[in-house]
Structure 1
């Protein structure tokens, strides 16, 4: 049996006297698609906040590839390969759509110095074009991201997460709006 990519073990999260998560246990394997559903206010976003390090749980643990990550900061968890799409699109509105895709492509570890940046930039431009086509955004490539309709902003952010080559994508209400 293969080890789960992400494990949430008996996670509880309290805010003052309000218990939002109660003993949540969840395992996610590579290539799996899971949907966490429930009414507004039931704790879906709070669970994502705990997994991504935005909140520390009151009790319980979060594991990634067999290593406990419970109290790591969000940037460290993102670097490990767990990324998140927020309810409101997190794009760079003043940059062109293609530039939004190039940022995660050029922000990966190991890109430093002018020559590696130049090589990475060439690869990033090619990969950006692939993602623009895949997500139906090629006609808007040179357009400012702020000018996109809301639905296309959502797709742009998902494309940015794919560009980051993350291992786990957490999509918080990807069709909202």
Structure 2
């Protein structure tokens, strides 16, 4: 398989506090790759380094073979790196469709006025296709303020897909979801497997083992293991560091 996203000896420190310790991570094209680890392991810091929200102290980030280490987040997004966040970042007054049309316009580099969107019929069609894809059929004219938390998560995923991404960084997409909503999100992400390259940061282990082709484990900022779900389940070091299991049972 072809590596689409890589880090090489990626390191981030704040003074004497090292939050990412020389991480070498590779995402293969088309895989769903989960990143797990205990609280404080450095998962969000690593995602911030990948997306450009943070600049590394040392090391490099590569997207499709291009070094993007010094590019700001908006230029990484233009190159095909899309991200969702733990906390929803939507405009409450916008409808789902309008949010997506604006995202599609931004992808194309158009200048626009918020009040003059009547001529973008093809973009509205694409917005509705994306809403269908994430399970929001018929919700196109609903203001985001009137949507449930689960629907917000679905819309955020649609916004990421609107960027035609090479890689999607999904930061805890199950956060705050109830049991039924979590099951729905798992099925939605399963439907995208193989069609998109996904780095999934998630605490829900049922979701991780249901979705991931490979799993990487962070502990104290260091990558301690990468492998198949079966490999990670049976790895004594991972069980000790992540699950707090001393005897392997």
Same fold at TM > 0.5: yes
Cα deviation for residue 134 of structure 1 reads 2.0
Counterpart Cα distance in 1 of 2:122 and 2:139: 20
| Local SS of the residue matching 1:107 | helix
Query: Given that residues 56 and 70 in structure 1 are in contact (C-alpha distance below 8 angstroms), is that contact kept between their aligned partners in structure 2?
Result: yes
Aligned residues between the structures: 173
Question: Which residue of structure 2 aligns with residue 42 of structure 1?
Answer: 41
Unaligned runs of 5+ in 1: none
Counterpart Cα distance in 2 of 1:140 and 1:110: 26
- After the TM superposition, which residues 11-50 of structure 1 pair with which residues of structure 2 at under 5 Å, given as runs? 11-50=10-49
Change over 3 Å in CA distance of 1:109–1:101 after alignment to 2: closer
TM-score (norm 1): 0.89
Query: Given that residues 98 and 142 in structure 1 are in contact (C-alpha distance below 8 angstroms), is that contact kept between their aligned partners in structure 2?
Result: yes
Structure with bigger RCO (C-alpha 8 Å, 6+ apart): 2
Question: Which residue of structure 2 aligns with residue 150 of structure 1?
Answer: 149
Across the aligned residues of Structure 1 and Structure 2, the Cα RMSD in angstroms comes to 2.1
Counterpart Cα distance in 2 of 1:98 and 1:110: 18
Counterpart Cα distance in 1 of 2:111 and 2:152: 29
Query: Given that residues 106 and 121 in structure 1 are in contact (C-alpha distance below 8 angstroms), is that contact kept between their aligned partners in structure 2?
Result: no
Unaligned runs of 5+ in 2: 177-249
Question: Which residue of structure 1 aligns with residue 105 of structure 2?
Answer: 106
Question: Which residue of structure 2 aligns with residue 77 of structure 1?
Answer: 76
Once the two structures are superposed, residues 96-144 of structure 1 have per-residue CA deviations (whole angstroms, 9 ceiling, x without a partner) of 111111111111235469xxx98x8222111111122222212322111
Higher strand content, 1 or 2: 2
Change over 3 Å in CA distance of 1:101–1:110 after alignment to 2: closer
Cα deviation for residue 174 of structure 1 reads 0.7
| Local SS of the residue matching 2:31 | coil
Counterpart Cα distance in 2 of 1:139 and 1:122: 17
